[in-house]
Structure 1
Amino acid sequence: MTSVLFDFSGTLFRIESAESWLGSVLHEAGIAMPGPELAATARALETAGALPGGASPLRVPDELAGLWRARDESAELHRAAYTSLCRQVPLPDPALYDALYDRHRTPAAWSPYPDALAVLRGLRERGLRVGVVSNIGWDLRPVFREHGLDGYVDTYTLSYEHGVQKPDARLFTIACEALGAEPHRTLMVGDDRRADGGAAALGCAVHFVDHLPAAERPDGLRAVLELVG
């Protein structure tokens, strides 16, 4: 292997809990909500799939199905999809729906997995090139910079910047070309068997990790160093 591609959410980084997400936005807005109500509202938002990077919706309303399928193809579609899911849950101020969306785009809302830095550093020391390939509707580069990982990433290929989302092999082709990498000498690492597994159609090797809270997956990425030799 000469190159490694990583997914973002659930692979290198994990989004905060729904309760932390909601609590932070309420605090910023100066809105008090009793603990039990906050917890129940956070659960409802999570069930609705309103937190990007969190759990998928248990059910996507029929009127949102098309928007949901195309959500990662542009910034506008991404915001519309998630704020629409969010609006299924009553909140005390309509402005909170956009505030919640904006919160999830901040570096403070994300934590790198405990072994992410060590693995990225190990790949750099071995001379491998690293790219990030993400289905997303916003620029995640500031998240990497804020958490000190940007220096270990050579290129970012983000779906909303190209109008193509995984598992479409075209997005992986763009990523490999940006790295100057041959697909059959490239490893794709992700947590979504359908989306990230699309790299196999291009000839990339694929390795999956479990999408778990960061504290529950302290060393899930370390196998990557063994796989690249």
Structure 2
Amino acid sequence: MTAVLFDFSGTLFRVESTESWLRAVLRETGVALPEHELVQAARALEAAGALPGGAAPVELPTDLAGVWAVRDESAELHRAAYTGLSRRVRLPDPALHDALYERHMSPAAWSPYPDAAEVLRSLRERGIGVGVVSNIGWDLRPVFREYGLDAWVDAYALSYEHGVQKPDPRLFSVACEALDVDPRQVLMVGDSRAADGGAAALGCRVHFVDHLPVARRPDALRPVLDLVV
């Protein structure tokens, strides 16, 4: 293998819990909400699938199905999809829906998996190219910079910047071209068989990890180092 491509959410980083997300926004905006109402609202937001990188909607509203299917193809579609889901939940101030969306783009909303830095650094030391291929509607590079992981990433292929989302092979091809590598000598690491598995169409080898909370997945990325030998 000459390069490894990584997914972002659920692979290298994990977003905060829905309750933490809501608490942070209420604190930042100075909006007070009784504890039992806060917990209920957090549960409703999670069921709605309103947190990008969090749980999928339990039931996708018919009027949002179209935008949901292509949500990662542009920043506008991404915002429309997730704020549309958020607005299904009644909050004390309508402005909170936009504030919630803004919060999830903050580095503070994300935590790297415990072994992410070690694995990325080790790959770089071996001369293996590293790329990040993500279905996303905003620039995640500041998150990598905040946690010092950007030093180990050579290229980013973000869906909203190219108007195409995984599993479309074109997004993986963008990353391979940026790294100047043959896809047949590339390993794709992700948590979604439906999305990340699309790399196989180019001839990439694919390895999956579980999308678990950070504390419950301390070393799932380390096997990658054995796969590139």
Q: Normalising TM by the smaller chain, what interval?
A: over 0.9
Q: Secondary structure at the match of 1:14?
A: strand
Hey, what does 1:158 align to over in structure 2? 158
Cα deviation, residue 37, structure 1: 1.5
Q: How does 1:70-109 map to 2 (within 5 A)?
A: 70-109=70-109
1:149-180 per-residue CA deviation (whole Å, 9 max, x = no partner) reads 00000000000000000000011111100000
Q: Secondary structure at the match of 1:195?
A: helix
| Count of residues in Structure 1 that have an aligned counterpart in Structure 2 | 229
Mapped to 1, the partners of 2:158 and 2:51 lie a distance apart of: 19
Hey, what does 1:61 align to over in structure 2? 61
Long gaps (5+) in structure 1: none
Cα deviation, residue 130, structure 1: 0.1
Hey, what does 1:140 align to over in structure 2? 140
Q: What is the TM-score with the length of structure 1 in the denominator?
A: 0.99
Hey, what does 2:17 align to over in structure 1? 17
Q: What is the TM-score with the length of structure 2 in the denominator?
A: 0.99
Mapped to 2, the partners of 1:188 and 1:58 lie a distance apart of: 28
Q: How does 1:169-180 map to 2 (within 5 A)?
A: 169-180=169-180
Farther-moved stretch of structure 1 (111-120 vs 34-43): 34-43
Mapped to 2, the partners of 1:83 and 1:136 lie a distance apart of: 15
Cα deviation, residue 36, structure 1: 1.9
Cα RMSD after superposing both structures: 0.5
> Do structure 1's residue 222 and structure 2's residue 222 form an aligned pair?
yes
Hey, what does 2:193 align to over in structure 1? 193
Long gaps (5+) in structure 2: none
Mapped to 1, the partners of 2:16 and 2:181 lie a distance apart of: 33
Instruction: Give 4+ residue runs of structure 1 displaced > 6 Å after superposition.
Output: none
Farther-moved stretch of structure 1 (30-39 vs 51-60): 30-39
Cα deviation, residue 189, structure 1: 0.2
Residue type of the alignment partner of 1:60: L
Mapped to 2, the partners of 1:41 and 1:18 lie a distance apart of: 9
Q: How does 1:16-35 map to 2 (within 5 A)?
A: 16-35=16-35
Cα deviation, residue 225, structure 1: 0.4
Hey, what does 1:42 align to over in structure 2? 42
Q: Percent identity?
A: 74
